[in-house]
Structure 1
Amino acid sequence: MTRRVLLATGNAKKLTELRRIIADCGMDLEVVSLKDIDPYPDPEESEWTFEGNALIKAREGMVHSGLPALADDSGICVDALGGMPGVRSSRWNGPEQEDIANLELVLRQIEDVPRGRRQAQFVAVMALVMPDGREFTTRGEMAGHLTNRPKGSRGFGYDPIFVPDEQLPDAEGRLRTAAEMAAGEKDAISHRGRAVRAMLPIVARELGLPVPEGLHVEPDTVPGADREGPAPTLPASEWTAQIPAVQRPESQPAARPTRAAGPTSGVTPLEP
């Protein structure tokens, strides 16, 4: 039986990504977009944590749709910038800024940072708010480093300047940016892919659907699953879950998947 959830985001690329991951997991879940419900004002993302902002968006989506609502908050945390842009990633160059303006500002801010000290992490938190007020969050991270110029035309956001650590070099011994990866390859290691795959067993349990194969979760690990939920005004659950990357097919080289051979200081081989 198909169940429906709302993804409370106006980002069409995030919607496509979530639907793709759910389809890859073989889950019979219909993801409704904001275009499918009556419009409502964008909530103010006033929190200083990814968890807080994700819950703000999911709560508003649930209230205005009456459906279980998913929302994510994500961003890039650059070591040389003290963990910023963080929750300000989509507005780093000011309100309503486009991806290219945001990433160009980050590159200007770290242009004097040596190649071996340009580490960064993508972080994503997925929130689920149920109509009875129960709330759940899951978190995913992807470590890597920043290039000195954009590369690749896939993905979105800061993908063109972010080189994930968890990848195998190509035939030329080069590591790629997230924007140079195929969609499925990126989903397998990405921060949002991890957060979504950690959330799907919770969604399955809450909606009475089979848990996707390979993503099983013990019933007792799902907070609130066997009791009455709190009123929506109560503090959100602080429970979080993490999930590793998707296992690589056996046909791929048996190299260590976590880092490429060579320096571990964040240097991209053969990067100009």
Structure 2
Amino acid sequence: MTPRVLLATGNGKKLTELRRIIDEYDMDVDVICLKDIEPYPEPDETEWTFAGNALIKARQGMIHSGLPSLADDSGICVDALGHMPGVRSSRWNGPEEEDIANLELVLRQVEDVPRGRRQAQFVSVMALVMPDGREFTTRGVMTGHLTTRPKGSHGFGYDPIFVPDDQVPDADGRLRTTAEMTAEEKDAISHRGRSVRAMLPILARQLGLPLPEGLSEEDLDLPGADHEGPETTLPASEWTASIPAIPRTRPATDPARPQPRPAEPSSGITPLEP
């Protein structure tokens, strides 16, 4: 019997992209989505990390469906904005989650940033939660820079203003935004493509399926993809517990206060579009 897996997302464009990448490897898996199961309230994304929010969505999907559940959390991290919007990417201009409004706000916030210092990274974390409580996450990163205006009509979110580093220039030698690329070109280098490809061998192992051809558990060396897990799971009774309050921090002048780790630099000054 073909195993079923829930893809716990209500974003139709993201669902299409995720399914397209999974189908690329011809896995014998029946991927269903939220509209195929009994509706349940969308969980609040209360964590401050992509991994935390991806796990929230995958856990809720598993609880309400009883199936192995995948979920993704992703966003754009702009160097000049202190690596924001980050987990707030889809709500950067407010809770309405409007792509154009979010994109335009980011462009206004960096309009005085020199063209050689507009580095950014797309980040995606894919989470898998199994019915027996095992949890896994994988991470994909795509580095690049922001344009000064939207270009292209494909993709979604911040695609029209993001130029990835890892691409082949077009016939005129110009670098393109991800919104100017075909779906296949984008999938080959995207943050989500990398996190999904890193997850597929894990999913195959958990479902007792052959490893997808071209991917290996022992050699997940996809550029920008990190493998995390398996992780110790919480008891099911704790999965739906409220997030504990964030403790009050010490004043900034307190010498005993732990200092944050410096942010890792991005790939340096990237080539800019003409």
User: Residue 142 of structure 2 aligns to a residue in which SS?
Assistant: strand
| Equivalent runs, 1:100-139 vs 2, <5 Å | 100-139=100-139
Q: Within 2, Cα distance between the matches of 1:58 and 1:171? A: 42
Deviations 1:134-176 (A, max 9, x none): 1000000000000000000000000000000001111111000
TM-score (norm 1): 0.83
TM-score (norm 2): 0.83
Q: CA RMSD in A?
A: 2.0
Deviations 1:8-58 (A, max 9, x none): 110011111111111111211111110001111110100000000000000
User: Residue 201 of structure 2 aligns to a residue in which SS?
Assistant: helix
Residues 80/210 of structure 1: CA separation in 2 closer, same or farther (3 Å cut): same
CA contact (8 A) 1:168 1:175 kept: yes
User: Residue 101 of structure 1 aligns to a residue in which SS?
Assistant: helix
**Shift of the alpha carbon at 1:234?**
6.7
Q: Within 2, Cα distance between the matches of 1:215 and 1:231? A: 32
Residue in structure 1 matched with residue 258 of structure 2 by the alignment: none
Residue in structure 1 matched with residue 224 of structure 2 by the alignment: none
**Shift of the alpha carbon at 1:267?**
4.0
Residue in structure 2 matched with residue 96 of structure 1 by the alignment: 96
What one-letter code is carried by the residue in structure 1 that aligns with 2:214? Answer: G
| Equivalent runs, 1:50-199 vs 2, <5 Å | 50-199=50-199
Q: Within 2, Cα distance between the matches of 1:222 and 1:77? A: 20
Q: Within 2, Cα distance between the matches of 1:18 and 1:154? A: 15
Tell which deviates more after alignment, 51-60 or 16-25: 16-25
Tell which deviates more after alignment, 163-172 or 210-219: 210-219
Q: Within 1, Cα distance between the matches of 2:233 and 2:75? A: 30
Gaps of 5+ in 1: 236-263
User: Residue 73 of structure 1 aligns to a residue in which SS?
Assistant: strand
Tell which deviates more after alignment, 19-28 or 86-95: 19-28
User: Residue 184 of structure 1 aligns to a residue in which SS?
Assistant: helix
User: Residue 84 of structure 2 aligns to a residue in which SS?
Assistant: coil
CA contact (8 A) 1:91 1:97 kept: yes
Gaps of 5+ in 2: 220-226, 240-267
User: Residue 20 of structure 1 aligns to a residue in which SS?
Assistant: helix
Residue in structure 2 matched with residue 29 of structure 1 by the alignment: 29
Residue in structure 2 matched with residue 269 of structure 1 by the alignment: 273
Indicate the percent of aligned positions where both proteins have the same amino acid: 75
Q: Within 1, Cα distance between the matches of 2:14 and 2:69? A: 14
Equivalent pairs counted in the alignment come to: 239
What one-letter code is carried by the residue in structure 2 that aligns with 1:269? Answer: E
Q: Within 1, Cα distance between the matches of 2:189 and 2:124? A: 12
| Equivalent runs, 1:229-244 vs 2, <5 Å | 231-232=235-236
Residue in structure 1 matched with residue 245 of structure 2 by the alignment: none
Residue in structure 1 matched with residue 13 of structure 2 by the alignment: 13
What one-letter code is carried by the residue in structure 1 that aligns with 2:269? Answer: S
